[in-house]
Amino acid sequence: MTGPTAGTVPALELDDIQGTVLRRRPDDYHGVYLLYRIDDPAATKRSLREVLPKITSAADWELPRPYTLNVAFTYRGLARLGVPEDSLASFSEEFRAGMAARKEVLGDLGANDPGNWLPPLGGADVHIGVMIIARAPEGLREPVDAAGRLAGVNLVYRLDVGVPVTGREHFGFRDGISSPHLLGSTDAPLPGQDSVQPGEFLFGYPDESGTPPPGPAPEVLGRNGCYLAFRQMHADVAAFRRYLRDNASSPEAEELLAAKFVGRWRSGAPLALAPDHDDPELGADPMRNNDFRYHEDPRGLRVPRGAHIRRANPRDGLTDTVVAVNIHRVLRRGAAYGPPLPDGILEDDGAERGIIFVFLGASLSRQFEFVQQVWLNDGDFAGLGAERDPLIGDNDGTGVHTVPATPVRRRLTGLPRFVTVRGGEYCFLPGLTALKWLTTLPDTAAKPATTPPTSMPESDR
Ligand code: HEM
């Protein structure tokens, strides 16, 4: 599971790595996600050259600054900019196919089917993604105005996002607590934070096998870059509240049930450390709130093996398989969108609300897709048969979540769908030198967006 020790890991080139890969966002913030179609590749490259100095690297993320800005490209976007054919072919097949084409792997069927996604998500018009984050809404004004004046591109989608001061997403849980620590970064790991080789997340560095994974070619394009999957998910908060009320005998029992879905109390306190009662101080304390394992709880009496966080990162809980957990880690950057459903409301108000996630890593298939397909949307790996993630799984009214207890376990049945995919896309988040390289591609080489492969050989799944 472990590669070379920290001492042999090269220092990360912080001033070349886009900041959102390595740096935590503020605890609360406002943000805007913008998606563009490239209409005029030559003008787009001129625009990008102007934007380059404003893109926030991991080296200048911490400075007092009104906003941070990061830029990513879809396969079609890279093709539009004129990335040569052999270089396009060096990207992974799932990236070239795009998220919508991977619907079978991701379980995006039925209500989650790309045919039901919000346009233009999953379509041919998404070429460039821009993420702007500010501590205060005023901080967004200048960069968003500037983004509106970019030449050569057309804004096809805008999503206003944010994390409130409570740090909680719409279902009411504190999010953004657990994350792998990258060896070679300047941060020290927090208690309980696993250190992982940087090549798991960034091209140009050793991964858990001890050698750098093959990245996009030429090297100047791949180095310090990574894949980025963004996924917009609608949250049916009223349905979740109703399910808790209908299946618990008191408000306290509802809170425990909610915690058994996620593996943490809504305050963020982990069930592994606070199995019977919430402990908000623990939930808010980064020195304690992620410092736990599962080996002392093999049956899931504290944290059900099907709970969201135990599925998404089984830590040391997979004793009966040889799966190396560290090769399936993802870096997550999540933010809420849409108005909160007021407390106590149990009927849906029709508002569009949910989470937009950004998942970062060097392998979409081994990381984001694996977690989604094998750990969240199936139960086999944890001896749970066909059970799916109780909160975000592709449940349809017949879902089941087993909550072990003594003397008898509880089987929650009739789980509806609480989360519906609204769309998403696979992008490449280049290093800053690579971004500059992209802006210098000859204009004559710019081609219309080619149709990427739509089906994957079984061996690539
Ligand atoms: C609406 C959708 C989702 C919601 C509301 C949600 C909510 C949460 C919450 C409340 C936590 C606990 C806080 C933390 O440990 O940081 C968490 C952790 C996590 N989630 Fe999700 N999540 C969602 C979707 C996803 C998806 C699609 C994935 C991956 C494909 C994912 C992967 C993870 C991972 C890896 C963790 C950290 C687990 C750990 O290291 O202990 N989540 N999520």
Mutational pocket test of ligand 1: of 357, 378, 394, the residue with most ligand atoms within 8 Å of the beta carbon: 357
Q: Do 285 and 225 fall into the same domain?
A: no
Q: Is the pLDDT of residue 4 over 90?
A: no
**Is 381 a domain residue?**
yes
Q: Do 194 and 298 fall into the same domain?
A: no
pLDDT confidence bin for 446, thresholds 50/70/90: very low
Rounded average pLDDT over 437-454 = 68
pLDDT at 443: 85
User: In angstroms, what CA-CA distances link 346 with 10, 214, 241, 259, 265?
Assistant: 52, 50, 6, 19, 20
Q: Do 229 and 277 fall into the same domain?
A: no
- Helix, strand and coil percent figures for the chain, each rounded to 5: 30, 20, 50
Q: Do 320 and 178 fall into the same domain?
A: no
**Is 1 a domain residue?**
no
Quick: pLDDT tens for 238-278: 999 999 999 999 999 999 999 999 999 999 999 999 999 99
Pick the atom of ligand 1 nearest to 330's CA.
Answer: 35
Q: How many domains does the chain have?
A: 2
Quick: pLDDT tens for 132-164: 999 999 999 999 999 888 999 999 999 999 999
Q: Do 226 and 239 fall into the same domain?
A: no
Supply the residue whose CA is at minimum distance from atom 31 of ligand 1: 312
Q: Do 443 and 410 fall into the same domain?
A: no
**Is 335 a domain residue?**
no
Rounded average pLDDT over 11-38 = 93
Q: Do 440 and 403 fall into the same domain?
A: no
pLDDT at 7: 52
What residues contact residue 459 under an 8 Å CB cut-off, 6+ apart?
A: none
Q: Do 61 and 161 fall into the same domain?
A: yes
- The pair phi, psi for residue 70, each rounded to 5°, is -135, 150
pLDDT confidence bin for 444, thresholds 50/70/90: low
150, exposed or middle or buried, with CB in 10 Å at 0-12, 13-18, 19+?
buried
Q: Do 445 and 364 fall into the same domain?
A: no
Quick: pLDDT tens for 162-196: 999 888 999 999 999 999 999 998 889 999 999 99
Do residues 290 and 270 make contact, with C-beta atoms less than 8 angstroms apart?
yes
Rounded average pLDDT over 328-352 = 95
Question: How much distance in Å is there from the Cα of 309 to the middle of ligand 1?
Answer: 6
**Is 24 a domain residue?**
yes
Instruction: Determine the Cα–Cα distance for residues 277 and 279; give it in Å rounded to an integer.
Output: 6
Window from 159-168, 313-322, 443-452 with minimum mean pLDDT: 443-452
**Is 97 a domain residue?**
yes
pLDDT at 461: 29
pLDDT at 326: 87
pLDDT at 369: 98
Cα 331 to chain centroid, rounded: 6
Q: Do 225 and 186 fall into the same domain?
A: yes
Rounded average pLDDT over 285-296 = 96
Pick the atom of ligand 1 nearest to 264's CA.
Answer: 12
Q: Do 70 and 33 fall into the same domain?
A: yes
Mutational pocket test of ligand 1: of 175, 230, 422, the residue with most ligand atoms within 8 Å of the beta carbon: 175
Pick the atom of ligand 1 nearest to 174's CA.
Answer: 10
Q: 449 or 64: whose pLDDT is higher?
A: 64
Whether residue 429 has its Cβ less than 6 Å from ligand 1: no
**Is 460 a domain residue?**
no
Q: Provide the domain limits for residue 76.
A: 6-233+429-454
**Is 84 a domain residue?**
yes
Q: Do 441 and 400 fall into the same domain?
A: no
Pick the atom of ligand 1 nearest to 392's CA.
Answer: 2
pLDDT at 103: 97
Supply the residue whose CA is at minimum distance from atom 4 of ligand 1: 392
**Is 366 a domain residue?**
yes
- The pair phi, psi for residue 41, each rounded to 5°, is -60, -40
